[in-house]
Each structure stands twice: as C-alpha cells, then as structure tokens.
Amino acid sequence: MMNIDRKKLLDLSGPSSGSQRKLLIVGRAQADSVELQAALAPLKGLIIEAVPTLARLSIALQKGGQPPDLLLVEVDPDRAEDIELLRDLRKVSGIEEVPIIALAERARLHAPLRAMRAGAADVLLKPIDLEEAREVFERVMDQPKATRQSAPTVGKAIAFMHLSGGSGATTLAVNAACALARVPGTRGAGLIDLDIQFGNAASLLDLPSTSPMQEFIDDPQRLDESMLDSMMLRHQTGLQVLTAPRALLPVNAYSADGVRSLVELAKRQFGFVVVDLPVTLAPWTDSVLKSASVIYLVTSMTVPSAHRLIKFLDLLHEESVRDLPIKVVANRYHKSTNRGNDISVAQFEKATGHKVDYFIPNDYSLISMSHGQGKPAVRLKPNSPFTLALTEMLGAELGGDIFTQPKRGLFSFGRS
C-alpha cells in the first residue's frame, strides 16, 4: 500500500521554497471567522486573515496592503445579500483577478451553481474536508489569470411605476422594452410584467400564451437561469417577455426574496430588464425599486395624480427610503393646457414638490392602432413624436449613445 505523507499533502506553499499564500475571509462576524480559521489552520503554507466588510478591505488595499492570493466568502445561495456580496467583491479595486471561493453547506444542492454564476471561481463545501480544501485552493491558484472566471456582466433594470390606473405606464414599458431589445452591442432586453393581477403586456404584444409562473410561485428558491429561460416568451422583435400569470392571484403570491432573485437573475441574462409594476404597492415593491437603475413614475397632469404622487413621496419619507432614482414622466402630455391637462406643469410641480423630468406627447391614434394590432408603437411609427420622446428619455438615463444609429433604421423590423 502506498505510504502518503499527509503533512506534505496539506502543504500549500508557493513555488519558491518557504513562500506562503494569503487567504482572506470576507464578510463574516469575528466569531465565525475564528471558527473558519481554526478549521483551515492545519493547511501549511497558508496565512489566513479575515476582514468583516468590503469597506475595510478597500481601505486596507488603498493604504498599500498586500492583496490576498485567495478570497473565501461563506454564502447561503438563497440569500440575495450573500449573492450580492460575491458580485460586489469584483468591484473592489486591486483584487479584480483574485479568485473567489464560495463556502456553502453540502446539503444545498443548488449552491455551487448559483455561487459560480455570481462570480465564484470554485466552491468549498461544509463541513470542511482539509484535503478537499487543499485541492480547491490549489486548483484556482494554479489556473492562469487569463482563464479565470470573472464576475458576470450585470445589466440595468428599468422600472415603470404608476400610482393610478390608466396612466399608460404599461404601454411605455412595453415600447421601451421593444426599443431596448434592438440596441446593438448589448445582450438584448427582457420585459417582466409584475402586475400579477391585471398585467396585460402579453396582449399589447399579441403574444398567444402566458408564462408558466406557477412553479416559480410555488417554490421561488428553485429559480435559476434554465427555469427563467423556460418561462420567458420570445416576441418577434427579439424581446424576451415574462408575462403575468393567466389566473388572478393576490399580490403576495410573489415573495420579496423571490422577486429580488428574479430581477437580479434577469439582469445577469439581459443588457436591459424592463419591469412593469402594478398600481398596488406590494410587500415586494421595494425589492424592485432598490434594484433599478432608473424608476419612471408615470403620471398625468391632473389633480388626483398630483395627490397620489404626494402620498407616495410622503410614504417614502416615512419609511426613510431615500436616493431612489425616480424620474417623473408626464404621459399623454398636451403642450397646450386647455387641450387635455387639468393643471399646468408649474402647478403640478408646486403641489408635489417634485419636478416633471420627461414629457411623452399624446398620440391617441398611434397608441390605439398599436393596441388594436398588438404591435408596439415604436415599430409602427419609428419616427413619431411618441417614439422619439421615449427613446430620448431612455437614452438620457441609460447612456446617451445607446440610440446613436439613425432612428429610421433602429426599428426596421420589416413588414408583416
């Protein structure tokens, strides 16, 4: 029988004699870090340190601290905060190419897949087996930098919100998604209809079916890239659509963690994720708002709309929710105050204490034709004032150069 020197087996010394590798444990409480350090202590040639927060790590690196050879992050793949920590590590200057090892429980079957999708180079399972740990650490440290897995590119979420029915927010969301789906050099766009009770994105796009949402509702923890793919419907514009369920369901049928995971997963799959929110404020609404790069709050120039906006802004203040990227959009706007606006822009802004950021002109005939034919307005009339105003609004918030090619060619889908 072969005689194996276990001490040599557990030696992680570097190529030069006596050189040691540095492992940094990130984001754990002191007691947890001490326990992990003790479990890994028998590994030779390894210096193990811990830092409780990314801010501490960033400060240490800025002061000239030596970057580690490995990062170890303990994660629960079902906690959005833990997955977000994995992604945020890649944003810390000075450790962009340092491999990340995710530490997860062996019983969590989906842990390795979800952790590696979030940017981990490999996964170490608990309880820790030292020989397994040595193998994992050596494998990722010996891997050439050029082939190491980097964190996936994260797209931008764009939320369309309305505080009263009939504001046209869904129309804007659908058309925005179709416009963004055609932006060159991106990973396309996905539209998520979260109006669980009365969502009608499917009918506005003339989609023949609705997404099979029941599996996600029953067990949101099962959501992964494959499951999301199976639920999305493809529109002829190239847009991928997650529709509202066919049946009328209570708004709390979605969980806050489930919706957060849904949006974050979609952001990793698409360059742009357009989310259409219901009028009702749900327990998971803030999960979407906090994930969004921009929130278009769609309203009309009326007294009731001004009152609803005031109440919503007061609610945000009471809940200490600040710094949300909210942009107020006046939809179906008439330049002349005597042609459809109940109050002037100045009156609206004075009453609400919030400026109107964008104006989408009223084009009743185009929108009626769009709804009647089940085709987006940006496709029917690419050079209409409606389309130009919408794309200018998107470009202003998402990057002024995303619609740089001539507008006439941007939505040239051909005739059907």
- List, as one string, the DSSP characters of 338-403: GGS-SS-HHHHHHHHSS---EEEE--HHHHHHHHHHT--HHHH-TTSHHHHHHHHHHHHHH-TTTT
pLDDT score of 245 more than 70: yes
pLDDT score of 92 more than 80: no
Q: Strand, coil or helix: what is 189?
A: strand
Centre a 10 Å sphere on the Cβ of residue 112 and count the other Cβ atoms it contains. Answer: 17
Phi–psi pair at 103, nearest 5 degrees: -105, 120
pLDDT score of 21 more than 50: yes
Q: Report the pLDDT value the prediction gives residue 403, as an integer from 0 to 100.
A: 76
Bigger pLDDT: 387 vs 323: 387
Q: Which percentage of the chain shows pLDDT scores above 90? A: 28
> Is it true that 19-147 and 156-410 share their CATH fold?
yes
pLDDT score of 118 more than 80: no
Between CA 370 and CA 389 the distance in angstroms is 17
Which of 32-41, 81-90, 248-257, 352-361 shows the lowest per-residue confidence on average (mean pLDDT)?
81-90
pLDDT score of 340 more than 80: no
Q: Report the pLDDT value the prediction gives residue 59, as an integer from 0 to 100.
A: 77
176: pLDDT confidence band, cut at 50, 70 and 90? very high
Q: Which percentage of the chain shows pLDDT scores above 70? A: 85
Q: Report the pLDDT value the prediction gives residue 152, as an integer from 0 to 100.
A: 52
Bigger pLDDT: 151 vs 395: 395
**Residues 266-325: pLDDT tens digits?**
998 899 999 999 988 888 998 899 889 999 999 998 899 999 999 998 888 887 777 789
Predicted TM-score (pTM) of the model is 0.65
Q: Report the pLDDT value the prediction gives residue 124, as an integer from 0 to 100.
A: 87
pLDDT score of 359 more than 90: yes
390: pLDDT confidence band, cut at 50, 70 and 90? very high
Bigger pLDDT: 389 vs 81: 389
All structural domains of the chain with their residue ranges: 19-147, 156-410
Q: Strand, coil or helix: what is 246?
A: coil
Token pair listed for 365: 């005939």
Between CA 331 and CA 258 the distance in angstroms is 31
167 burial (CB, 10 Å; 0-12 / 13-18 / 19+) is: buried
Q: Report the pLDDT value the prediction gives residue 412, as an integer from 0 to 100.
A: 42
Q: Report the pLDDT value the prediction gives residue 338, as an integer from 0 to 100.
A: 52
Which DSSP state fits 10? T
Bigger pLDDT: 111 vs 32: 32
Closest C-alpha among 87, 89, 69, 93 to residue 142: 69
Superfamily of domain 156-410: P-loop containing nucleotide triphosphate hydrolases (3.40.50.300)
Closest C-alpha among 46, 52, 47, 96 to residue 74: 52
Q: Report the pLDDT value the prediction gives residue 211, as an integer from 0 to 100.
A: 92
| Averaged confidence pLDDT in the chain | 82
- Greatest mean pLDDT among 72-86, 254-268, 327-341: 254-268
Segment 120-142 mean pLDDT: 85
Decide which of 3.30.70.260, 2.40.50.140, 3.40.50.2300, 3.40.50.300 is the CATH code for 19-147.
3.40.50.2300
**Residues 40-78: pLDDT tens digits?**
888 888 888 888 887 777 777 776 677 888 888 888 877
Which of 134-143, 170-179, 203-212, 369-378 shows the lowest per-residue confidence on average (mean pLDDT)?
134-143
Q: Report the pLDDT value the prediction gives residue 11, as an integer from 0 to 100.
A: 59
Tally of residues, the chain: 416
Q: Report the pLDDT value the prediction gives residue 145, as an integer from 0 to 100.
A: 53
